Amino acid sequence: MIEMSVWWDSIYSYIEPYWHIFRLLIIIIIAFIVLNLILRVIKRNLLKLTKNKKQAASVTIFIDMLKYLFALIFIIIVVFSYYNSWGELGFIAGLMTVAIGWALQKPISGVVAWLIIIARRPFNVGDRIIISGITGDIKDISLTHLMLDEVGGTIDGEESSNRTVMIPTSMIFEEEVINFTEIDEYILDEIKCSVTYESKLEEAESIVISCAEKIMKEYWKKFPKKISTRPHTRINFLSSGIELTVRYNTITTLRNGISTDIRREIHKAISNSENVNFAYPHTEVLFKDKQNILL
């Protein structure tokens, strides 16, 4: 019994200088467990009030942030209690700040990028942009991410794929950003087709221009005066025919459907024309008459 008492006294004498630290740690652990239980109850009740997946995600993120905040506060309290000096605490806090800053380079860059976006407004919610090779309409600009309604992606062309793409805001420092609608919602579009060298070029140009005007007429009524509503053509010589291009101003978000309607009209008009024919790569064999052969 005496030996047990001596053994306990030796252990107590060893841990006595650190007893206040152990006691504080026990208090903090108990407090953290209680806090965790309280946050779970709060989270469960808040999730019952959410109406969609986005709100539920926001609640989860908020609760997690509270956990990390309290954990950081507990660590600071332990360090301060151990050193019992604000000088050492400041030194430790400085080291932690450097470590956290290094570990969170991307998020911090994202916050800086967000501030630049808010201040300079290179694009806004609703703009159609291309960033990192992804085309989409901006749905939301958060502190760390851009939310895009993807255009294309699963298909060729510029129609919504019904997918949401999340891009870090820090990407504006690394990738070029193309904004379709920074000034207005109108862009120059073009449609190409090839006609044979035997076709009447003036008539072919008239056909493609009239087809563009026919489809765009109703849209152009709402265009501002500064936007041209006159299509124009460009031509290029190819080995299989003349490449004919008609260019016109259109609405950015509707360009795919509009261009399809114009192509449909061009196909119908050229197919019904006697003086204009589509050109395509093919081979023709021409036979001379017998008289020429004998010669």
Q: Which candidate, 147, 141, 153, places its Cα nearest to that of 116?
A: 141
Of the chain, the end-to-end C-alpha distance in Å amounts to 136
219-278 pLDDT per residue, tens: 999 999 899 999 999 999 998 899 999 999 999 989 999 999 999 999 999 999 999 999
pTM equals: 0.61
Q: Are residues 163 and 193 in the same domain?
A: no
Q: Which pLDDT score is estimated for 142?
A: 80
Q: What is the CATH number of the domain that holds 239?
A: 3.30.70.100
Q: Are 77 and 20 in contact (CB under 8 A)?
A: no
Co-location of 194 and 173 in the same domain: no
Which of 53, 73, 103 is at the close of a domain?
103
Looking at the structure, do residues 240 and 164 belong to the same domain, yes or no?
Answer: no
Please check whether residue 169 lies inside any domain of the structure: yes
In a domain, 294, yes or no: no
| Residues 12 and 91 reside in one and the same domain | yes
154 shares a domain with 88? no
Residue 295 pLDDT: 43
Same domain, 13 and 90: yes
Residue 210, burial from CB neighbour count under 10 angstroms (0-12, 13-18, 19+): middle
The 3-class secondary structure across 3-56, one letter per residue, is: HHHHHHHHHHHHHHHHHHHHHHHHHHHHHHHHHHHHHHHHHHHHHHHCCCHHHH
Structure tokens at 222: 């709402």
Task: Look up the domain containing 8 and give its range.
Answer: 2-103
Please report whether residue 63 resides in a domain: yes
Task: With respect to residue 280, please indicate whether it lies within any of the assigned structural domains.
Answer: no
Q: Do 191 and 247 share a domain, yes or no?
A: yes
Asked if the structure places residue 293 within a domain, the reply is no
Is residue 289 one of the residues assigned to a domain? no
Q: Which residues have CB under 8 Å from 232's CB, separation 6+?
A: 209, 246, 247, 248
Q: Which of 36, 69, 103 is the last residue of a domain?
A: 103
117 within domain boundaries: no
Q: What pLDDT was estimated at residue 294?
A: 42
- The number of domains in the chain is 3
Same domain for 97 and 13: yes
CATH code at position 169:
2.30.30.60
pLDDT at 34: 82
The verdict on 154 and 196 lying in the same domain is no
Residues 154 and 99 in one domain: no
Residues of the chain short of pLDDT 70, as ranges, are 1-22, 24, 52-55, 57-58, 61, 74-105, 286-295
61 and 144: one domain?
no
Identify whether residues 158 and 210 lie together within a single domain: no
Residue 125 burial by Cβ neighbours in a 10 Å radius (0-12, 13-18, 19+): exposed
* Residue among 275, 277, 278, 280 at smallest CA distance from 203: 275
Is 282 within the bounds of a domain? no
